[in-house]
Amino acid sequence: MSNSGFLVVVTAPSGSGKTTIYREVLRKNPELVFSVSYTTRKRRPSEIHGRDYYFIDRKTFDRMAADGKFIEWAVVHGELKGTERAQVERCLMKMKVCILDVDVQGALNIMNEYPDAVTIFIEPPSIEELEKRLRKRKTESEEQILVRLRDAENELAYRNRFKYIVVNDIAENAIRKVEEIITQERKARS
Ligand code: 5GP
């Protein structure tokens, strides 16, 4: 086990199965810390405030952004999302591995500020499969699905900027690969 903390930035087009992957990695490895983002997006019924996101209003978000509380923030699918600096810094100070779920813009910004961050791009097997998954989960409207598919095409263009690319064809394999990456990075830093 390494004694140095580092960031693991996980990015993927919406519907790639990223949430399932990192949740399982976190469940199996309780020493890992998840950075809970702030968002102005409405909470989905399955989501819990403080676990999935901190759901806040626009005014609060703007104030936090103006006060420099975020490492990065972005408009994602029309809603504001931001990574809290204090959480990430606390995690690194405690020498922990911190998992961040951000979009491509967020990942590129974090790479600038934390060049040591381990960046992982979770790739869907194909755009057709992505569309199928988005429709199946029924959390977005038709209009939102189309926005997410368009955003996915743009995001895929940045995949080579990431240190690792993990194709999510079979979830168990992708979970194992992410765990292997973290183990390998720990070893490299110990
Ligand atoms: P969802 O609305 O489905 O929860 O998330 C949509 C996208 O927002 C995902 O791609 C996720 O990675 C991204 N996201 C979540 N939190 C943050 C954040 O703090 N910063 C940025 N830039 N993107 C985020």
CATH code where residue 100 lies: 3.40.50.300
Write down how long the chain is.
190
β-bridge pairing 164-167 and 118-123: parallel
State the pTM of this model.
0.93
Q: Where are the alpha helices (DSSP H) in the chain?
A: 18-28, 58-66, 85-93, 104-113, 127-137, 142-156, 171-189
How many distinct structural domains can be found in the chain? 1
- pLDDT tens digit sequence for 104-121: 999 999 999 999 999 999
* Ligand 1 midpoint to CA 190 (Å): 31
Q: What percent of the chain has pLDDT over 90?
A: 82
Instruction: Classify residue 113: in a domain, yes or no.
Output: yes
pLDDT in tens, 149-183: 998 999 999 999 999 999 999 999 999 999 999 99
Mutate to test the pocket of ligand 1, among 11, 37, 140 (most ligand atoms within 8 A of CB): 37
Q: State the DSSP string of 57-97.
A: -HHHHHHHHHTT-EEEEEEETTEEEEEEHHHHHHHHHTT-E
Instruction: State whether residue 105 is helix, strand or coil.
Output: helix
Query: Does any domain span residue 64?
Result: yes
For ligand 1, what atom is nearest to the CA of residue 70?
19
